[in-house]
């Protein structure tokens, strides 16, 4: 058994990095390792001042060193991938110098507006890099950084949610309900989701909050749309309830590092309308049958007469490529390789 740390800007939230980091924590523990979480904010075992992506002050490097002390391996979740807090990035590199580390990249800076000239993550003799898609792996390779792709993994037999109770809490009755299970930020393309709902005569439910200063822009979009909108998740309503309550899931994003709602919709047996963001092509190449965001006729037909066989076929494809039950087995070789160099 090894002592492994998981380090990030924040942990324990509903953002994609936190959700995926939690899956790795469980997988590492399933492999018999002792895991400690460290972050700048959230519900981590150790919270270090200045490490958050929103921190304005310096990193408490003594606290960071103490939090990572005695660990055999540190998994870094997106902290150096996006330089949201340059001081935290530099402090992390210093703390991990000469140590075994596995850097997992959910996003890379040049994949975001204004980041074209950003340098790649650094390399080291005891450092390994993992990406969550092949696009990022090839982009790192072009910049001299070798990485391994390990796709996100999902529970394909989630607990059933409460459809009727959740719809009652939302006040939507029997009307068509389209779920947008994400935050509201510019790249999520709320306008595209609203346009789809207008065409289908449906209500849009935006599950997450507005972030990155998007509140006013979102308010204007909602006010100018003919589609009814629900925002936020009522108390005691879980993710499974949200999927159970909806008739359709929408991912209108122009960019996603992976796009967890794509596989979540499959797991919850719900049809998905998706914009063709770049990484989506990798996911659909496995054989998943999804709807294009602008396929209004096809979506309307699906809502009138659900193709349940198609949904179960998607689940079978997902089991072969994205099953959470397989994550410990997929993760073990990477971890063992790094630990072998530490012994």
Structure confidence by residue, pLDDT tens digits, 75-103? 999 999 998 999 999 999 999 999 999 99
Examine the pLDDT at 221 and tell me if it is beyond 70.
Answer: yes
How many helices (H) and strands (E) the chain has is answered by: 13, 13
* Residue/partner pairs of 210-213 with CB below 8 Å, 24 or more apart: 210/183, 210/184, 210/185, 211/183, 211/184, 211/185, 212/185, 212/186
Helix (H) or strand (E) holding 104: strand 101-105
Tokens of 74: 């540190």
Place of tokens 């001299």: 144
92: left (phi over 0), alpha (psi -120 to 50) or beta: alpha
pLDDT band at 263, cuts 50/70/90? very high
Whose CA is closest to 65, among 98, 33, 103, 43?
A: 98
Q: What is the mean pLDDT of the chain?
A: 96
**Packing angle between helix 308-321 and helix 260-267, nearest 10 degrees?**
120
Distance CA 143, CA 115 (A): 14
Examine the pLDDT at 264 and tell me if it is beyond 80.
Answer: yes
Do residues 20 and 52 lie in contact, with contact meaning Cβ atoms separated by under 8 Å?
no
Examine the pLDDT at 174 and tell me if it is beyond 90.
Answer: yes
Burial (Cβ within 10 Å: 0-12, 13-18, ≥19) of residue 1 = exposed
Residue 114: what pLDDT? 84
| 3 state SS of 206 | strand
Residue 282: what pLDDT? 97
Do residues 58 and 50 lie in contact, with contact meaning Cβ atoms separated by under 8 Å?
yes
pLDDT band at 151, cuts 50/70/90? very high
Residue 343: what pLDDT? 53
Domains in the chain, please, with CATH?
3-153+324-340 (3.40.50.2000), 163-321 (3.40.50.2000)
pTM metric for this prediction = 0.92
Examine the pLDDT at 175 and tell me if it is beyond 90.
Answer: yes
pLDDT band at 115, cuts 50/70/90? confident
Distance CA 186, CA 277 (A): 14
Residue 96: what pLDDT? 98
């Amino acid at each position: 058994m090894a002592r492994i740390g998981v380090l990030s800007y924040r942990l324990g939230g509903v953002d994609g990095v936190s959700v995926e980091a939690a899956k790795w924590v469980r997988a590492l523990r399933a492999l018999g390792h002792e895991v400690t979480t460290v972050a700048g904010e959230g519900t981590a075992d150790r919270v270090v001042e200045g490490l958050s992506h929103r921190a304005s002050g310096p990193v408490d490097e003594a606290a960071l060193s103490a939090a990572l002390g005695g660990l055999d391996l540190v998994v870094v979740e997106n902290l150096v991938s996006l330089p949201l807090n340059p001081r935290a990035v530099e402090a992390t590199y210093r703390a991990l110098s000469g140590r075994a580390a596995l850097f997992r990249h959910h996003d890379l800076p040049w994949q975001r507006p204004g980041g074209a000239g950003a340098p790649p993550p650094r390399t080291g003799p005891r450092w390994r890099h993992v990406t969550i898609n092949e696009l990022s792996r090839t982009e790192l390779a072009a910049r001299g950084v070798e990485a391994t792709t390990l796709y996100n993994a999902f529970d394909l037999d989630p607990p059933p949610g409460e459809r009727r109770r959740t719809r009652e809490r939302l006040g939507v009755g029997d009307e068509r309900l389209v779920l947008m299970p994400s935050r509201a930020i510019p790249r999520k393309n709320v306008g595209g989701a609203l346009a789809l709902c207008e065409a289908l005569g449906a209500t849009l439910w935006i599950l997450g909050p507005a972030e990155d200063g998007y509140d006013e822009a979102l308010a204007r979009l909602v006010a100018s749309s003919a589609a009814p909108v629900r925002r936020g998740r009522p108390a005691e309503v879980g993710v499974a309830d949200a999927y159970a309550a909806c008739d359709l899931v929408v991912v209108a994003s122009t960019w996603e590092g992976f796009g967890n709602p794509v596989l979540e919709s499959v797991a919850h047996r719900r049809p998905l309308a998706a914009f063709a963001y770049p990484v989506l092509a990798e996911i659909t190449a496995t054989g998943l049958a999804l709807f294009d965001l602008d396929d209004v006729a096809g979506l309307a037909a699906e809502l009138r007469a659900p193709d349940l066989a198609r949904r179960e076929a998607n689940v079978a494809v997902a089991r072969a490529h994205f099953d959470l039950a397989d994550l410990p087995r997929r993760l073990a070789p990477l971890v063992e390789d790094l630990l072998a160099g530490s012994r």
